[in-house]
A = this chain, B = another copy of it.
């Protein structure tokens, strides 16, 4: 078989997609078109996984009860995080909008099944953490596929993984990888919100290549 030829025009568009991928916290409330979530999950399943273990698991959080419990969990964790900030950063932290849980039409929790037998354990004896990394690959793949449809994704991490698993009543071997909000963004931004608001800008050191 032959890899389809990707030309310079495609690579330019892919670069735009990567640059505009951005985390979104300001969502419009209108729903995603019918079948969109299914299409995105289908693409997420194309991510690489250690030993072809496909450990990603998807939970769409639709019910008002579960959503309210997740929001309450976020509020509790966020209040604790604010209190733990050094004094000089508290005002800046309090001014940030760190989740769009209220407005986003779709909540999607992505888990990693740490007991999966798929792949027969291949490749993860020495680095079991590659299973979680595989689930994260599904998250980013879904994110890019969403953005290519004009849909924004926001990654909410100010949650206790165990609490989220309990609220959503998932099997005990499922560890939360990422809690995602999906919806159309209120506005588009190329620069990360944390950068625009002066919290943390681009770190040029992170992109340095060491040679060994």
Which residues from B are CB-within-8-Å of A16? 4, 6
- Is A97 among interface residues, defined by CB-CB distance under 8 A? no
- How many copies the complex holds: the figure is 2
CB–CB B210/A2 < 8 A: no
Which residues from B are CB-within-8-Å of A30? none
Q: How large is the interface on A (under 10, 10 to 19, 20 to 34, 35 or more residues)?
A: 35 or more
With A52-B195, A59-B209, A212-B62 known as contacts, the answer to whether A4 contacts B18 (CB < 8 A) is: no
- Is A150 among interface residues, defined by CB-CB distance under 8 A? yes
Question: When the two chains form the complex, which single residue of B58, B185, B208 contacts A209, counting CB atoms closer than 8 Å?
Answer: B58
Other A-B contacts than A125-B158, A137-B140, 11 sampled, CB-CB below 8 A, are: A1-B187, A1-B189, A10-B148, A45-B206, A52-B200, A58-B207, A60-B210, A60-B212, A81-B123, A136-B136, A137-B139
